[in-house]
Chain A
Amino acid sequence: MGVEQEKRQVRNSREEVDYVQVIESRSFKKLMRDRKKFIVPLTIFFLVFYFSLPILTSYTTFLNTPAIGDISWVWLFALAQFVMTWVLCTVYVKKAATFDKQAEQIIDEMEQGRKSR
C-alpha cells in the first residue's frame, strides 16, 4: 500500500483521536517540558564544548602547553570530546527510559479517551 493511500486512511480516521486535545493534555505537556529541560541544555553544552576546541586552537595557543610529558593539553581536550560523547550517550539512554514510560502513559490515556467517547 502506498504512503499517500495510507495517509488518506489516517485522515479518514483522524476524527477518532483528537491530537490537539492530546498535546494540550497535562501529561503530554509534562513530557514536552521534561524533554526540553533535558535536551536543550545538553545540546547547547555539547555544541559549545565541541566548538571550543577549534576556537581555542585557532585563536589561542595555551592548549599547546605540555600536560603529561610530551602530551599537550590539546590532546587531552580532544580525548575529553570522546569521553563527553560516550557519557552523554549513556546519560541520554537512562533519561530516555523515563520519557518512554511517560509516553506509554499518554498512549494509554489516548486509547481510553477513544473508547469512552
Chain B
Amino acid sequence: MSATVIILFLAIVLLTLVITFFAARKTQTAGDFYTAGGGLTGMQNGLAIAGDYLSAASFLGIAGAIALFGFDGFFYSIGFLIAYLVVLFLVAEPLRNLGKYTLADMINSRFDARKVRGAAALNTITISTFYMIAQLVGAGALIQLLFGIPYWMAVLIVGVMMTIYVLFGGMIATSWVQIVKAVLLMAGMVVMTFLVLLKFNFNIGQMFTDVKSVTAHGEAYLMPGLQYTDPLGTLSLMLALVLGTAGLPHILMRFFTVKDAQTARSSVVIATWVIGIFYVLTLFLGFGAAAFVGHETIIAANPGGNMAAPLLAQAIGGDWLFAFISAVAFATILAVVAGLVLSGASAFAHDLYGQIIKKGKTTEAEQVRAARYASLAVSVLSIVLALFAQYLNVAFLVSLAFCIAASANLPVILYTVYWKRFNTTGAVTAMLTGLLSALILVSISPSVFSPVEGAALFVGEPIFPLTNPALVSVPLGFLGGYIGTILSKETDMKRYAEVKVKANTGYKRSGVSH
C-alpha cells in the first residue's frame, strides 16, 4: 500500500466524518433522521440517488464484465438505466405525494392495516439484507485487493464508517456522503475515459478495431453471446433489472427527502443523466482495460474482473490515478451501504416499532431514539452476516435483491396507485406471493444447486432452470395481488378517491399533512 493510497483513503474518511459532524447537529427530529427534513433540492437529491445507486458492483463489476465479455457486460448497464423510466413514469411522483418516511407509509395511505405495514416492512428488510450482504462482501473483497488488508478488517472498517454516518447524521449525512461520492466517481470516470480515448487518438472506430484484435475472443468480443447464452435466462435477468429499481427500498426512500412531486421528478431526471453518462463511460473503461491491461492480468488479479478499472488506472495514469480510483471505490461502497442501513432501520424503527408495536403513539424524541437503536442493530447484524458470507457470489445476491424488489414491491405499488378495486387482502397477498415466489424459485435454481461441485451452494440438479427467476416471480406477484383482491369483498371507494386525488395532484390538507 503506497503513501498516496493511504493519504487519499484518510482524506475520504476525514471528509465524510466532517459531513457527519455537521449533519449530526442538524438532526433533531425523526423527519430529519429519515428524510433530511424533506429539504433537499432536485439537483442534490438527483446526485444522491446516483450516489446511492451506483454501487461498487456497477463501477468495478460492470467495467470488469465489459473488459472480459465485451458486449454482454453492457446488458447490466442498459437495464440499470432504463429502470429509471419506470421510476419516473410510474412510481416517483405518487410515492412522494402519498408517503412519509417509508414505502409502507405509502401503501398504508390507502390501507390502515397493520398486516399491510408488516408485510411491507418484511419486504424492505429482506431486500435490504440481501443487498447489504452483497455490498459488504464485495466491499471486503475489494478493499482486501486494493489495500492489502484481511477481509474481516475491511468489512469492519466499512461497517464502522457506515454506522457512524447513519447513527449520528441520519439521512442528512447519508445524502451528503452520497453526493460527494457521486461527484468523485464521475470525476474519476471522466479522467479515465479521457486518458483511454487519448490512447486511441479519440478515434472510437479505431478503439473497436484495436480491442477486437487484442482480446482472446477476437470477433466474438464485440458481439452478444459470450456470457449470456440462454435466451430465457437473459430475458429474466433483464426483467429483474428494469423493474427492480422501482421497488428497491433504499432508492424509494430518497424520494421522501424532497418537498414535492415536482422536485422528485427533477431529481429523477438529474439522476438519469448522471447514471446514463456513467454507464456510457463504463464502456470506455472496459475496453481500455481489455486493451491496456489485458485479459490474463485482469483474471489473475480477480477472476470476476473486479480489478479491471483500478488496474487500468494504474496502466494509463500510474500510481496516483490508481490511488485515486481505489479511494473513489471506497467512497462508492460507503455511500451505498449507508443508504441501506437507513432503509433497514426505517423498516424496523418506524414501521415495526413505531407504527405496529407502539401504534403510532410515540414522541419525536422516542422516534429518533428508536431510529438510532435500529440503525446500530442493523449495522451490527449486517457486519456479522457479511463476516460469515465471504464466499457467497456477490452478483447473484445483487440480482436476487433486484428480483425480490420487482416481484414483491412493484406490483403492490402499482396496484395501490392505479387499481380501483385493490384492497387490503390483495396488498398482503401481492407482497407475500412476490416475496415467497422469488425466494423459493431462487432456492431451487442453478444459483443454489449445481451438478458441478463448488459451483453453487449445494451439489445437485436444479429443479428450476433460470438463475434469476423474475420472469416467473414478477407475474406471480401481480397474480397474487389480483387473486387476493377478488377473493375479498372489501372495497373502500372513499379512500381510493382520496389516494387518487392526492397521488395525482399532490394535494395536502393544511395542518394535517406532513
Contacts and interface: CB of A to CB of B under 8 A. Distances in A.
Interface of A: 2-7, 9-10, 13-14, 16-17, 19-20, 22-23, 28, 31-32, 35, 39, 42-43, 46-47, 50-51, 53-55, 57-59, 63-64, 68-72, 74-75, 78-79, 81-82, 85-86, 88-90, 92-93, 96, 100, 103-104, 106-107, 110
A50 B242 contact: yes
28 contacts: A2-B358, A2-B362, A10-B509, A10-B513, A13-B509, A13-B512, A16-B509, A19-B494, A23-B501, A31-B504, A50-B242, A51-B235, A51-B239, A53-B78, A54-B75, A57-B234, A58-B224, A70-B208, A79-B280, A81-B78, A82-B81, A82-B279, A88-B85, A89-B85, A89-B273, A93-B269, A104-B505, A106-B507
A13 B509 CA distance: 9
B82 A50 contact: yes
B303 interface: no
B222 A75 contact: yes
A81 B81 contact: yes
A71 B205 contact: yes
Given A72-B222, A74-B224, A19 B266 contact: no
B334 to A, nearest CB: 28
B505 to A, nearest CB: 4
Given A3-B105, A88-B85, A20 B494 contact: yes
B74 A78 contact: yes
Contacts, number: 168
A58 B322 CA distance: 37
Given A14-B494, A71-B205, A103-B504, A81 B82 contact: yes
Contacts of B209: 69-70
A4 B112 contact: yes
Contacts of B231: 54-55, 58-59
Interface string B84-95: 111011100100
B199 interface: no
B113 to A, nearest CB: 11
B112 A7 contact: yes
Given A19-B497, A54-B235, A4 B85 contact: no
Interface string B335-376: 000000000000000000011001111100001000000000
Nearest to A28: B501
Interface in B271-315: 272-273, 276, 279-280
Given A82-B279, A96-B265, A47 B494 contact: no
Indicate the member of A3, A13, A64 with the most B CB atoms within 10 Å: A3
A19 B501 contact: yes
A40 to B, nearest CB: 9
A86 B262 CA distance: 18
A55 B304 CA distance: 26
B20 to A, nearest CB: 27
Contacts of A106: 501, 505, 507
B504 A3 contact: no
A112 B503 CA distance: 20
Contacts of B181: none
A47 B493 CA distance: 31
Given A23-B500, A69-B209, A58 B235 contact: yes
A110 B358 CA distance: 35
Given A22-B497, A74-B71, A82-B81, 5 more contacts: A3-B100, A23-B497, A35-B504, A57-B224, A85-B276
Contacts of B514: 6
Nearest to B506: A103
B273 A86 contact: yes
Nearest to A6: B512
Contacts of A23: 497, 500-501
Given A10-B512, A72-B222, A78 B234 contact: no
B96 interface: no
B74 A2 contact: no
Nearest to A25: B501
B88 A92 contact: yes
A39 B235 CA distance: 24
